[in-house]
Amino acid sequence: MKKNSLFLLLPLLLASCPTTPSNSRPEWIDEPEIYQKNSGKKFIALFVGSAPNEGDIATAREEAFENAQARVSKYLQSKVHSTIQNWSKVIGDKMHPTTRQKIFENTKMIHVITRQTLQGVQELQSYYDKEKKIIYILVGLYSKKFLHTLAETYKQKFLQFLQKEKQKALQAPEEQREKILRKTETMKRNFFAKLDQLAKEEEKKLQTSK
């Protein structure tokens, strides 16, 4: 009796589940920013990737995601570079030119940060066009995640620089050693505080932007 009741209820349960008609093409395919507007969340990057389904939908999904991720990567390299340049002007203005160059003006760091930030890219939506046999995937990277990764990476970079300075201090005369070590700690506090401030200002700017 219970089994029969379940069979009778099944059609009603299925009917109550939200579905998207196959011929209803989502707006985000052509305008990814619409997703941000509707979700109320802030993304540093929103891109769509697509791939044909040639018999294996799982493979098509993977290719579509990689396609979108590649577009995010290309965008991030430019965004990381411009953000670093802005931060360098603010934080590095009191640094020795050689120190500033070691920390900020480093092409390798841009690739490292881009690669690390890409790990935060998430699939947000997907749509399969049954007629064209094409799958579309919308991916996004949250602004906060991007700024956090950027700030933390440069904190680690700065700590590496300070560690070398401390090693030099150990070789200096005792009367100079304590002075150099105090200076490195002050530099660390100021650098970290300014970096956190810049990240918050950038996030606020993104929150208020359309």
Q: What does the DSSP assignment read for 26-73?
A: -GGGT-THHHHHHH---EEEEEEEEEE-SS-HHHHHHHHHHHHHHHHH
2 vs 154: which has the higher pLDDT: 154
Is 5 part of a structural domain of the chain? no
Q: Among the listed ranges 22-26, 82-86, 102-106, 143-147, which one has the minimum average pLDDT value?
A: 102-106
| CA pair distance 155, 193, nearest whole angstrom | 10
**Token pair belonging to 62:** 């993977």
Domain membership of residue 7 (yes or no) is: no
Tokens 């619409």 belong to 34
* C-alpha span between 25 and 9 (Å, rounded): 31
> Quick one: pLDDT band at residue 3, thresholds 50, 70, 90?
very low
Q: What residues make up the domain containing 75?
A: 25-208
Q: Identify whether 133 is part of a domain.
A: yes
Q: How many CB atoms lie within 10 A of CB 59?
A: 12
18 in a domain, yes or no?
Answer: no
Asked, for residue 9, whether it belongs to a domain, the answer is: no
Average the pLDDT over 135-150 and give the result. 91
Provide the pairing of β-strand 134-142 with 43-52: antiparallel
The encoded tokens of residue 96 equal 């020795």
Structural domain tally of the chain?
1
CATH code, domain with 108: 3.10.129
Rounded CA-CA distance 14/210 in Å is 38
Residue 15 inside a domain? The answer is: no
Q: Token pair of 101, please?
A: 């160059």
Mean pLDDT of the residues in the chain = 81
**Assessment of whether the complete model's pTM goes beyond 0.85:** no
User: For position 130, what pLDDT does the model report?
Assistant: 92
Note the pLDDT of residue 177: 80
User: Which tokens go with 103?
Assistant: 């920390």
The answer to whether residue 49 sits within a structural domain is yes
pLDDT per residue over 105-119, tens digit each? 667 778 888 888 888
Mean pLDDT, residues 93-105: 71
State the distance between the two ends of the chain, measured CA to CA, in whole angstroms: 58
Q: Which two tokens stand for residue 190?
A: 């100021």
Q: In which band, very low, low, confident or very high, does the pLDDT at 6 lie, cut at 50, 70 and 90?
A: very low
* Residue reference for tokens 């506090």: 189
Note whether 103 and 161 are within 8 A (CB). yes
Structural domain contains residue 1: no
Is the confidence at residue 132, as pLDDT, over 60? yes
On the question of pLDDT at 66 being above 70, the answer is yes
Q: What is the pLDDT of residues 16-65, one digit of tens each?
A: 333 344 458 999 999 999 998 888 888 989 999 999 999 899 999 999 99
pLDDT confidence band for 166 (50 / 70 / 90): confident
Band of pLDDT at residue 207, cut at 50, 70 and 90: low
The alpha carbon dihedral of 133, 33, 203, 155 has a sign of: positive
Tokens at 31, concatenated? 């305008």
pLDDT exceeds cutoff 80 at 187 = yes
Residue 209 or 18, more confident? 209
Rounded to an integer, what distance in angstroms lies between the CA atom of residue 16 and that of residue 88?
55
**Radius of gyration, CA atoms only, the chain:** 25
